[in-house]
Amino acid sequence: MKFWWIAVIGLLPTAVTASENSSDALAILEKMAEASSKANYSGTFMFQHGGQVETSRIAHFVNPAGGVLERLETLDGPAREVIRSNDQVTCYLPGIKTVLVDPRGSRQFPVRVDQIQEIIQHYRVVKGDVDRVAGHSCQWIALMPRDSLRYSRRFCAETTTGLPLRTRTSDEKDITLETFAFTTLSLDRSFRRELVQSKYAAISTKQGWRVDRSSLTAGDSGDSGWVVSNQPAGFRKLMELRRSMAGKKGTVSHLVFSDGLAAVSIFIEPAATPERKPILRHQGAVYIYSRAISGHTVTVLGETPAETVMQFARALEPKANTAAATPR
């Protein structure tokens, strides 16, 4: 599932007024990273990427024990509803009468708390101006990459909770690739179960709906059988497993890396056709690179510049090859 950060059409402030990595800038970054586990909110947002604009509605509640309940519903295009209960995500697709269940579907918030110290090694963190989004005051913060492997990212964090109200992702030429912004927002709402209940759960149990639990396969393992021997600087592995996927024979190996902001996913599956030339394509801020390696099709998908996903693909190899090359 695509991260929920959204988009608003129009000019986004880019001025910065404080020195990089100041205590104020880092405090804002830390508060923003903690927002998903502390803030209750509901509202409507827009996400713009690749020439497309999507509008969605979200309700997010955190209980005192740390559990999270969330409901996200698209308001235009094909209907889609996503229900999150802690780490389990259920996606309802009424257009094709399908329910997707994934226990690993917890989406990554824009910033991971445990990677802030790593982030500042590869991004300059700069405090910007105070602004106003959806009737709420927010503080701009910019994360500017120190190399060409990452995008620039700007967030306007709500001044009390740190919740990102507007974001902008741009390339090395400062061309906007993705934007996100709340258009309506209510903060610190008391829990209302009806806001996070699925409107499709009951009807999906009736005849005609298909439930896809392929990602719950018991054979999943922490060993994908593949290794990235020299990943791009600043990225670390968050997940590694083998999983079944609908429409695929056998299992697909899946690895996920992150630098604390950007995520890169690697999918490896047995090649169904003879080897083909590498293919590079993109939509908005996401680049997708596919190539053949050792009789397998490798697809690397990342919210990064093209060179980053290609570096991951070039560094990937079967673990058997690595073991064979190790001196005894």
Q: Domain 23-203 belongs to what topology?
A: outer membrane lipoprotein receptor (LolB), chain A (2.50.20)
Instruction: Name, in order, each residue with C-beta under 8 angstroms of 275's C-beta and a sequence gap of 6 or more.
Output: 292
The average pLDDT across 232-255 equals: 80
Q: What is the pLDDT of residues 109-152, one digit of tens each?
A: 567 677 788 889 999 999 999 999 999 999 999 999 999 999 99
Domains 23-203 and 214-325 share a fold: no
Please identify which residue in the block is written with the tokens 């293919």. 279
Q: What are residue 129's phi and psi, to 5 degrees?
A: -90, 165
The CA distance from 97 to 1, in Å, is 18
| pLDDT band of 87, cuts 50, 70, 90 | confident
Give me the pLDDT at residue 103, please: 60
Please identify which residue in the block is written with the tokens 């005051």. 137
Give me the pLDDT at residue 74, please: 96
| pLDDT band of 221, cuts 50, 70, 90 | low
- Using DSSP's 3-state secondary structure scheme, residue 122 falls into helix
For residue 252, is pLDDT > 90? no
Query: Would you say 59 and 68 are in contact if contact means Cβ atoms under 8 Å apart?
Result: no
As a whole number, the mean pLDDT across the chain is: 84
DSSP assigned state of 12: -
DSSP H helix total and E strand total for the chain:
4, 20
| pLDDT band of 206, cuts 50, 70, 90 | confident
Give me the pLDDT at residue 79, please: 95
Query: Would you say 156 and 127 are in contact if contact means Cβ atoms under 8 Å apart?
Result: no
**CA 141: distance to chain centroid?**
19
- Amino acid present at 207: Q
The CA-based angle 68-72-77, given to 5 degrees, is 165
DSSP assigned state of 97: T
Which CATH class name applies to 214-325?
alpha beta
Query: Would you say 191 and 63 are in contact if contact means Cβ atoms under 8 Å apart?
Result: yes
CB-facing half-sphere around the CA of 300: CA atoms within 13 A: 25
The CA distance from 2 to 308, in Å, is 19
Q: What percent of the chain has pLDDT over 90?
A: 56
- Which of 56-65, 176-185, 191-200 shows the highest mean pLDDT? 176-185
The CA distance from 62 to 59, in Å, is 10
Query: Would you say 164 and 185 are in contact if contact means Cβ atoms under 8 Å apart?
Result: no
Domain extent listing, the chain: 23-203, 214-325
Using alpha carbons only, how large is the chain's radius of gyration in Å?
20
The CA distance from 70 to 10, in Å, is 28
**CA 309: distance to chain centroid?**
15
Alpha-carbon separation of residue 252 from 28, 76, 175 (angstroms): 39, 32, 35
pTM here is 0.83
Query: Would you say 217 and 243 are in contact if contact means Cβ atoms under 8 Å apart?
Result: yes
Query: Would you say 149 and 258 are in contact if contact means Cβ atoms under 8 Å apart?
Result: no
The average pLDDT across 17-29 equals: 77
The CA distance from 105 to 1, in Å, is 8
**End-to-end CA gap in the chain:** 43
Query: Would you say 181 and 8 are in contact if contact means Cβ atoms under 8 Å apart?
Result: yes
